[in-house]
Amino acid sequence: MQLLLDAPIVSMLCRLAIPNLVAVTTMTCIFFADARFIGQLGTTALASLAVVFPFQSLMQMMAAGAIGGGITSSVARALGSGDRFKAEESAWHGLIIIGVMSLLYTLVLGAFCRPIFSLLGATEEVLDGSVIYSRILFGGAFVGWLFFMLSALLRAIGEIPLLSRIIITSSLVQILLSGALTLGWGPFPSAGISGPATATLLCHAAAGAYMLITIIRGNVGIRLIPHSFNMQTINDIMKVGGIGLLNSTAIAFTVVIVTGLVGRYGTEALAGYGLGSRLEIMLIPIAFGIGGVLTTAVGANFGAGKYNRARNIAWLGFGATFVATGIIGIIAATEPSLWLDRFTNDPKAYSYGALYLNFAALFYGFFGGGQSLYFASQGTGRMLIPVTVSISRLILVATIGMLSVKFSWDISVIFGTVGTGLAIFGVGNAANMFSNIWRQKQAVE
């Protein structure tokens, strides 16, 4: 905790953000690996995975980003103020919350996934494959939620190097196990579409068990032990995590809406947009690699009353993320072939992908910087403005996008609006830094 409160900011961020960035990058590689393995089973299996993927991503955003961010914020603020009892109370109540959330996912997407996927247009073999995958993954939803909850807890107490080693190890094992179970490598039987889902559950269970044992033994300075139910503690977590669920939903709906609107312009347009927007997945490790540390560091310093230091940490994290993601965006916008040539030879799909990157990629710096400040704001325990910014972005993109389709405007209008939305997200979160929440009177010099 002293590292978060007293160490030079640059060295503190480097010591914590670099291993976190490597860990998140490794975890992101799982999505690409699973798609590659499933792709070798054929188009039908790949389509089945595509049906489930948005829901899998949504659960991860909710567990790691929203509720996980709420747990990290609450525990970090308590430890920063020197209140270990409150920190352990928050940890226990976080376990209660993820128990409820995982039950909802199991009931909705584990037990009743077939009618839901049917409404989305999945039929016959595609529907059967998506149901098999979903029932395994969401049937064991508690395992995934526990993994992300314990990750949030280790992040809150500053044990990010330990957490990073656990995530890197489990992610690498998961990639190998997923390939083995999906394609039948070596002595493993080919489980087909169920392979990645099974590998996910097994690796999350193993990593979660290791983290749980480490915490229960008290090896990290905080214990996960039962406490009397306290609604105030639930509220302290949910004022960040609960409203964060709206942000996760807004992000998911933005992607769904843009995908649906672009699809009206034809298959090539949809393919090109998909290839271009896929680059944004590569920004997540940078944004969360730094942003996840900001939640902890800002939370600890807010808890200790070191508001000036918290602001400096947030701005430095913003600057680093803005520059890194901005450089990627500028390169992609000016030389889209560096990315698109890896995925397609179709000239029409390429042209749409290049057009999307020309408009949207220029604003990747705003998106990355905005994400880092969003995570920093989680540490303050006040999330109304950042989430309002996300919802405003959704409304803008949806409104202009639907008008574009209705009046047959050029697709560049939609792509330009997506870019504008990214800029609004970054500027809005930066403007929040000048609100009263961030400008509280310094309590400790």
* Residue 171 banded pLDDT, cuts 50, 70, 90: very high
Contact in structure between 429 and 373 (CB atoms under 8 Å):
yes
* Residue 425 banded pLDDT, cuts 50, 70, 90: very high
Q: Which of 281, 339, 343, 341 is nearest to 53 (CA)?
A: 281
Q: What is the pLDDT of residue 444?
A: 47
Cα separation, 428 vs 431, whole angstroms = 5
The two tokens of residue 154 are: 């280790």
Q: Which of 292, 253, 290, 279 is nearest to 58 (CA)?
A: 253
Cα separation, 243 vs 238, whole angstroms = 7
* Residue 32 banded pLDDT, cuts 50, 70, 90: confident
Cα separation, 277 vs 353, whole angstroms = 8
For the cut 60, the answer to whether the pLDDT of residue 251 exceeds it is: yes
State the amino acid at position 386 in one-letter form: P
Tell me the pLDDT tens digit for each residue of 41-78.
Answer: 887 888 888 788 878 888 998 999 899 999 999 999 99
Average pLDDT, the chain: 91
Q: What is the pLDDT of residue 443?
A: 55
- Return the DSSP state at 362: G
For 47, residues 6+ apart whose C-beta sits below 8 A from its C-beta are 122, 126, 129
Q: What are phi and psi of 336, to 5 degrees?
A: -60, -20
Cα separation, 29 vs 35, whole angstroms = 10
Percentage of the residues of the chain whose pLDDT score is greater than 70: 99
Contact in structure between 425 and 412 (CB atoms under 8 Å):
no
DSSP conformation letters of 30-86: HHHHHHHHHHTT-HHHHHHHHHHHHHHHHHHIIIIIIIHHHHHHHHHHHHHTT-HHH
Percentage of the residues of the chain whose pLDDT score is greater than 90: 69
Max Cα–Cα distance, the chain, nearest Å: 65
State the amino acid at position 374 in one-letter form: Y
* Packed helices 307-334 and 9-39: angle between N→C axes, nearest 10 degrees: 40
The two tokens of residue 136 are: 């395994």
- Return the DSSP state at 445: -
DSSP conformation letters of 252-265: HHHHHHHHHHHHTT
Tell me the pLDDT tens digit for each residue of 281-313.
Answer: 778 888 989 999 999 999 999 999 999 999 999
SS3 193: coil
Q: How many CB atoms lie within 10 A of CB 348?
A: 14
Q: Mean per-residue pLDDT for 327-341?
A: 93
* Residue 156 banded pLDDT, cuts 50, 70, 90: very high
For the cut 50, the answer to whether the pLDDT of residue 365 exceeds it is: yes
